Amino acid sequence: MPDGYRQFLLYVDSGGTGPVTMRRLSRGPGGWAWENDRETELAALATPFPDQDSYEDRWEEHEAAQPPRSDETAWAAWNQRGDALHQAQTAGAVYLSDDGCGFHTLLVCSGAERGNVWFDRRATSDDIVPLRNRDDTHASFTDFYLDWLDAAEQALAAKRGRLRRYEVRAPIYEGRFG
């Protein structure tokens, strides 16, 4: 695990409240896993997270090879290749949270982006983009979490009462990606 996330797990929490509702990491009969996570490919966590820009061409090639739906065998094989391409695009990353409507927050565990947080917005725009700090650098897990804590502290001071998670707007998550 990337150092910032590992430190979070050791000294803060196993998941839950944060910039997003993070999936909890827990140990079960099958070993360590994130709760309610059907997306993370545990066997692929050691695989370097791929260069996301390279996927635009891969998806265009895949779409260009689409067979007619009337050819059920060819359609099924093409669809299976698309599923594999979709899954390969997040190799080396943990689906840190399910943000609803097909959107996810990813933590990169392997490769050049190790420790950074990305946003999977393929549900509507066919891409995965890095979350960014104010200086336009890619946000690490630590940046991501501390940004949220700072926003929560400011919101709590302004309200002077109990906060609900949705009342905290973390700047990194509110539009500094892409």
Q: What is the pLDDT of residues 66-120, one digit of tens each?
A: 999 999 999 999 999 999 998 999 999 999 988 888 889 999 999 999 999 999 9
Rounded CA-CA distance 19/151 in Å is: 9
Does the pLDDT value for residue 41 go beyond 60? yes
Rounded CA-CA distance 145/142 in Å is: 5
Among candidate residues 35, 29, 31, the one with its CA nearest the CA of residue 13: 35
Read off the pLDDT of residues 2-35 as tens digits, 9 standing for 90 and up.
999 999 999 998 888 777 788 999 998 988 889 9
pTM of the model: 0.84
Helix (H) or strand (E) holding 124: helix 122-125
Lookup: tokens for 24? 């909890």
Q: How many CB atoms lie within 10 A of CB 172?
A: 22
Lookup: tokens for 49? 């997270």
Rounded CA-CA distance 121/110 in Å is: 20
